[in-house]
Amino acid sequence: MIRALTLGASVLASPVGATGLACTFTDLCAPLTDCQSHPGLPFTFELIDGALALSTAEGIAFGTPLSHVEAPALSLIFDTRPDQTLLLSVSNTGQAAMTQHDFEAAGRLTSVSYFGTCEPAS
């Protein structure tokens, strides 16, 4: 189930901006492939009805903010598929990390981490 929580006004004034986040990840790390540089893998998180959202092939996934992260930094969990979760964290300077967790057949769990930057979408 996808849940949406409204972001507070203090978060909207932080790295999210008025329209969302434009992120570019340049380092990808996974246990089976180690870390690799990338020319820039883009992700766009839109602001929809006051909540940060990610469009996926399955639909729109709304981020659930983690309450212990204080603005202007932010950290959100996205339920992108029944078997996949994303955790996005952005520092007050725009430094970003995103981790994707996938539950696969026979209970196998895989993950990949993305590192880069996010800035307010224009």
pLDDT in tens, 50-84: 889 998 888 899 999 999 999 889 999 999 888 89
Stretch 85-101: mean pLDDT = 96
Cis peptide before 72 (omega within 30 of 0): yes
Beta strands in 8-50 (DSSP E): 20-30, 34-48
Which residue, among 90, 86, 83, 87, has the nearest Cα to 23 in the 3D structure? Answer: 90
Task: Report the pLDDT value the prediction gives residue 10, as an integer from 0 to 100.
Answer: 34
Amino acid 32: pLDDT:
78
Which region among 42-46, 86-90, 104-108 has the lowest average model confidence (pLDDT)? 104-108
Residue 119 pLDDT more than 50? yes
pLDDT band at 103 (very low <50, low <70, confident <90, very high): very high
Tell me which amino acid residue 28 is.
L
Residue 69's SS3 state is: coil
pLDDT at 9: 32
For residue range 8-51, what is the model confidence (pLDDT) as tens digits?
333 334 456 678 999 999 999 998 788 999 898 999 999 998 88
pTM for the model stands at 0.81
Tokens encoding 97: 């990390």
